[in-house]
Amino acid sequence: MPIRLLIADDHTLFREGLKRILEMEEDLEIVGEAGDGEEALRLVEAIRPDVILMDINMPNLNGVEATRVIHERHPDAKIIVLSIHDDAQYVYRALQLGATGYLLKEVDASTLVEAVRLVARGEGYIHPRLTPMVINEMRRLRRLSEGLVGEEIVEGVKKADPWHRLTDREKEVLRLIVRGLTNRDIGRALGISDKTVKNHISSILSKLRIPDRKQLIIRALEEDWLKR
């Protein structure tokens, strides 16, 4: 069965461009188009797409708010935010409100297609160029939290660190996930098969008691694991 896609963007030419790229893939099917957030909500209810490609800046209801509403109604909905904004605060906000992925509109066709497939499988995806900025934003928010709650945060930090539950290889895989690499790219980087990569990811999620790839990325950035 093909992956059923809904495209939500108020620019007709951009939607048409996305359609041309995505419809070249045999496993992808465009089942709906929306020109604003409210229309996107109606179409989600009517056609229940597998993956939603959501522009941030749309009339009537913006993409971030539409993402929040869709996630509240359908917690398992898979949403990739498409944006011109490379500010880490936009990324963090979108993920917190339920987005599964975040891509800049400058993304190349192959990365877009790969991101759609990953998200359809329940994995998260952040545009690789944004990863350093997201890390810095997480650090900023963490410092702010430490300043606000003081000793509560300190006590929490003293608890057992789940990072140490992972093997060295699992730590390598996790670092590459956070940097935005796909399973295939991780396998190439480490000289292992796609199946082995998937096994490592399953083990990581199990050991850290994290439900999916998106939450894994968020947790890793919050805990600053890339610096370990």
Handedness of CA 29, 71, 103, 42 (dihedral sign): positive
CA distance linking residue 65 with residue 50, whole number of Å = 19
Q: Say if residue 71's pLDDT is above 90.
A: yes
What integer pLDDT is reported at residue 12 of this predicted model? 93
Contact 68, 112 (CB under 8 A): no
Tell me the average pLDDT across 200-211.
89
Q: What is the pLDDT of residues 117-151, one digit of tens each?
A: 999 998 889 988 887 777 776 677 667 666 654 44
What integer pLDDT is reported at residue 154 of this predicted model? 45
Between the alpha carbon of residue 168 and those of residues 87, 176, 200, 224, 225, the distances in Å are: 32, 13, 11, 17, 13
What integer pLDDT is reported at residue 46 of this predicted model? 97
Q: In this predicted model, which residue has the larger pLDDT, 179 or 111?
A: 111
Please write down the HEC assignment for all residues of 67-136.
HHHHHHHCCCCCEEEEECCCCHHHHHHHHHCCCCEEEECCCCHHHHHHHHHHHHCCCCEECHHHHHHHHH
CA distance linking residue 215 with residue 222, whole number of Å = 10
> Residue 218 — pLDDT band, cuts 50, 70, 90?
confident
What integer pLDDT is reported at residue 30 of this predicted model? 97
What integer pLDDT is reported at residue 159 of this predicted model? 47
Q: What is the mean pLDDT of the chain?
A: 87
Tell me the average pLDDT across 56-74.
91
Q: What percent of the chain has pLDDT over 90?
A: 56
| Domains of the chain (ranges, CATH numbers) | 3-129 (3.40.50.2300), 131-227 (1.10.10.10)
Q: What is the pTM of this model?
A: 0.67
Q: Say if residue 155's pLDDT is above 50.
A: no
For residue 102, report the phi and psi dihedrals to the nearest 5 degrees: -145, 120
Q: Which of 15-19, 20-24, 163-167, 183-187 has the lowest mean pLDDT?
A: 163-167
